[in-house]
Structure 1
Amino acid sequence: MTESSALHAGLHVALPELARTFRDPWWIIGSAAMALTGVPDIAPQDIDVLCSREDALRLQAAWMPHADLAYRPQDEARFRSTFARFTHLSMPLEVMGDLEVMTAEGWRPLQVLDDTIVGFDAHAVRVPTFAEQQRIFTLFGRPKDLAKAARIAAFLEGLHVA
């Protein structure tokens, strides 16, 4: 199964459950958001979901049998949230409730300041706009995130040239 088909199959199963479980605004972020918004040749390894702490806890309760309790995110000290990783889908889903990022100024809550809606399987999926994805990746500051921000910039530049 390719990353693209795994992402689509994972979202096909996850989105109805997220729609039933979540009560607050939430977004798909990271590489999955890049793929959903049309950035080519992106190979997401997981589906990152940013939501409220309460919604993260609700999803954990609903999907507890599928939680990978041993998993710890890379660079765990840089991020904190109500976190869970679920592995029963074709692609792992990571939920981050009230995600905060350690910056030079201290802990900073991650907020999506501008989003867009992507239609998927009759679901309206909120994802950050391209500019917002770039801002988030830059805030994360890891080399892989900065490379993703640059990838979005190159993609947008290509759209303006074409």
Structure 2
Amino acid sequence: MRTPVPPIVYRPTRSAPATLLALLLLIVGGLGTWLTAYRFLTGDWPQRTVTMLGEVGAASLGSIAVLVAAGIAAAFGFFLLIAALWPGRPKHVAFLPDDIHGQTALHRSDLAILVKRHVEQLATIRSASATVRRSRVDVVVFSDAEDLDAVREAASKRTNEALEIFQPVGITHGRVRAKRVS
């Protein structure tokens, strides 16, 4: 019995919430380590820490400072939760779907390069740039031709041809802009 092959196209890790939580824990851990080392070396807690902990201990739960700190902590926690649950954009996109078992994937920047090269084959285009978004390919063509609308339409046709050839999954259309260069 064969084990199933994991798909090539996968969602990226949740690096933003993990990084924020790691920085928060690093700051708290560093402060705790410094306080502990100070206590071991001198035998007393730092005076500033004793004063601050006394003020924090004397604060009531209804005070403005405690409510503001609780609100900031709740907003930060809510942000981390939303960032962890929000689906990330896959770095790879499946393309050339067929009946053969398995998956063919391509990095989004490589797909942009393929579409760009396909569009640059037009004689009226001096250069082009392409970017792959969630469901479209954005192409900017640079030309010195007088009729930019005709250049844009020809580049749009070439972009659609490239998308028909490669058939990237989830990318439905292209958007083309033409700019004049001298």
How does the TM-score come out when normalised to structure 1? 0.29
Q: Which structure: larger Rg? A: 2
Query: Which structure shows the higher helix fraction?
Result: 2
